[in-house]
Structure 1
Amino acid sequence: MRKIKTALLSYGMSGKVFHAPFLSDHPGFELLGSWERSHKHIHADYPETKSYATPEALLEDHPDLVVVNTPVATHFEYAKKMLLAGKHVLVEKSFTATVAEAKELQLIAKEKGLKLAVFHNRRWDSDFLTVKDVVSKNMLGDIVEAEFHFDRYNPTLSPKLHKETVNSGSGVLKDLGSHLIDQALFLFGMPNAVFSDIRITRPKSLVDDCFDLLLYYENLRVRLKAGFFVREMVPSFVVHGKNGSFLKPRGDVQEEDLKLGKHVSARDWGTEPRSKEGLLHTEFDGKIIREFLPTLHGNYYDFFAALYESITEDKPEPVTAQDGVNVMIIIEAAIKSSETGAIVNV
């Protein structure tokens, strides 16, 4: 099996939790190491890896793939640097800070014949996979309304300064919001227009931490919402069709299991507790159904498996640069809508 030599640009929470475990487990990737600015941790977790002092030192080991998992405001700078160095690139969400940056990266990758993927891993969450399955099997009939939430109760500011200082990549819309937008676009495609209300609700917060976003389709409305003052959770996925409804709480366990150090090849990987099953109430095949639906297994490994095939077999990236561009188009339209109080065509 061909080995894809891979390096990370950060070994904080993103590198340690979401990338390194899968890159080290997949037999097609060789994890070279990570650029680490202050704390040096990767070698302790993966003794065969290196801690690089600079991106230039990282490039001296000739990686095939570089994961740009630095703060959002720096994604464009580092992704462009790696693409111009002839490397395939995986960029954390959100893809960039602006549509213009996203399109420039897309153009460079195309001109140089390189793979450029965006890490919208939440497509492989167990809860979303189950929602997707219900919709794709037409269990609800024609969809008329959907509402996706990524809510938390966390009134305190993050200790990560780049998340709480005003910069081109900060704020919940470009953080959790990018996941919700990508999921909506993956299911329903690009909308015709956007309306949004983006706010600051936490004391002393300088960046947006609450948004309500409405996507307008010809015969469908999709509402996306996130906030930090939700102590009692509502269903994170609500989908209504002409034949019925599906209500699903957020239940994917992968992030928490990764934080606890659970191995990604565990037999029960990505298995939600049954208490998180979604409620399906619909008419399907001539029968009225009201029951809790078993949840599909989530697995971020599938993203990396598809990324490997993208590089080695020239298949499409699991989340393409165009997907990333589309998310940025919605984010920019949402910001404009919130500033003007008007519906913005996209």
Structure 2
Amino acid sequence: MGREPYEVGIVGYGSSAKIFHIPFIQASPRFHLHSVVQRQVRPGQADARKELPGVKVHGSLYDMLQDARVQLVIISTPPDSHLELATAALRADKHIVVEKPFAPTFAEAEALISLARERQLLLTVYQNRRWDSDFLMLKSLKEQGTLGRIVEVESHFDRFRPTLPVDTWKAHPSPGNSAIYDLGTHLIDQVVHLFGVPDRVTGFVGSQRTPAINTTGLEDSFTVLLHYSDGMLATVKAGVISPEPQQLRFWVRGDRASFRKYGLDPQEAQLKRGMQPSDPGFGVEEDEESSRGLLTVITNDGSTATFTEGTVRLSSVVEQGNGTYSMFYSSLASAIDSGDHNQLPVTGKEAALLIRLVELVLESSRCGQTMMV
């Protein structure tokens, strides 16, 4: 007989909950969506009571925490609320998933880790882009040694969005809200997950939009250099003024081969269109050209080096069953089963380190210096 599904409560009913969490909870036999916290429904906003029949809807987290059936709480609210809400959930003896960024400061992240340890509860952070198909393909190439000694990594998330986003909390500066906390925590996490902690960081954080357009002063772009002791340099960047027909995603160079990829993993776009994780083709790139990464390999023939170019099928990692965001919740279920935080898809220690690196990037940008890690 299989285990009973874990009962889940989600705090917040914005795009994070609706796109990145609820579809995977509903698709998993290990979890059941029990309740949602939605404080109020503003004009034009979705109403959880209408869209989620059979799911309890509470007006506050504290109401939901009174229900002993809720075992796992997902915090999908703005970053400056994470400490308060996650603390309350832990004190109510609930395991928690915190949407990235973990917290605005390293001190807050450490406080939550300490409380979870004290209460003997599991805490993880939703770094779902560890399961992007292009990143998993890069991870596979590295592990197989296809690229040889990797000397340079570029990871981009550039777009052409010269105007401000819609008037939501993401359009206004607040603790934990800027491009470096949003996209930056994804890109830096991928590099650190694959290559380890860098020795030094250099950061350039600011706005590519003009002051006349970016009246709030929101930092919308960044470039970060991650320096490694073996000489490898990783550049992670996101910009909003990049008028390119195809945006570069990865360019990784080694002494045996290089790997280039344009365009983004398709899962976010598919979820926004209403596609479900269980649907055929979920996670597979639909454009035949963009679904291939370009691999340039050096072949040695005596003293002569020649170059060959080939393509790699990114969809293969999806077909092998390990290339979608569903893996996050699959790993989380296993960790709750065992009670072992080392089995979590993302440990609190990893997530806290990431916030510390972001703090060093911001300090580097402010003082114009490279910072030791």
Q: TM-score range by the shorter chain?
A: over 0.9
Matched residue, 1:11: 13
**Amino acid paired to 1:60:** Q
Query: What SS is found at the alignment partner of 2:155?
Result: strand
User: Aligned match of 2:368 in 331, 338, 341?
Assistant: 341
Q: Does 1:65 align with 2:72?
A: yes
Matches of 1:251 and 1:280, distance apart in 2:
17
Larger Rg: 2
The Cα RMSD (Å) is 1.6
Task: Give yes or no for contact 1:215–1:222 (8 Å, CA) kept in 2.
Answer: yes
- 1:1-346 alignment, distance < 5 Å: 1-39=3-41, 41-62=47-68, 63-202=70-209, 203=213, 204-218=215-229, 219-232=231-244, 233-272=246-285, 273-276=287-290, 277-283=292-298, 289-295=308-314, 296-297=317-318, 298-315=323-340, 316-346=343-373
Matches of 1:41 and 1:306, distance apart in 2:
30
CA offsets 1:230-275 (integer angstroms, 9 cap, x no match): 1204421111011111001233111111111112101211001321
Matches of 1:44 and 1:279, distance apart in 2:
46
Query: Offset of 1:327 from its aligned partner?
Result: 0.8
Matches of 2:200 and 2:283, distance apart in 1:
35
Task: Give yes or no for contact 2:248–2:262 (8 Å, CA) kept in 1.
Answer: yes
Number of residue pairs matched by the alignment: 346
Task: Give yes or no for contact 1:140–1:284 (8 Å, CA) kept in 2.
Answer: no
Give TM-score, length-normalised by structure 1. 0.96
Q: Structure 2: which 5+ runs fail to align?
A: none
Matches of 1:264 and 1:15, distance apart in 2:
15
Query: What SS is found at the alignment partner of 1:236?
Result: strand
Matches of 2:259 and 2:203, distance apart in 1:
24
CA offsets 1:268-316 (integer angstroms, 9 cap, x no match): 1100132111110124798964101111323111111111111112242
CA offsets 1:123-163 (integer angstroms, 9 cap, x no match): 11111111111111111101110010111111222224322
Task: Give yes or no for contact 2:159–2:243 (8 Å, CA) kept in 1.
Answer: yes
Query: What SS is found at the alignment partner of 1:105?
Result: helix
Matches of 1:43 and 1:341, distance apart in 2:
50
Give TM-score, length-normalised by structure 2. 0.89
Identical pairs, percent: 35
CA offsets 1:187-219 (integer angstroms, 9 cap, x no match): 111000100111112222411011110001012
Matches of 2:5 and 2:247, distance apart in 1:
44
**Amino acid paired to 1:3:** P
Task: Give yes or no for contact 2:83–2:108 (8 Å, CA) kept in 1.
Answer: yes
**Amino acid paired to 1:44:** K
Matches of 1:221 and 1:103, distance apart in 2:
28
Judged with a 3 Å threshold, the aligned counterparts in structure 2 of structure 1 residues 160 and 312 are, in CA distance, closer, same or farther, namely farther
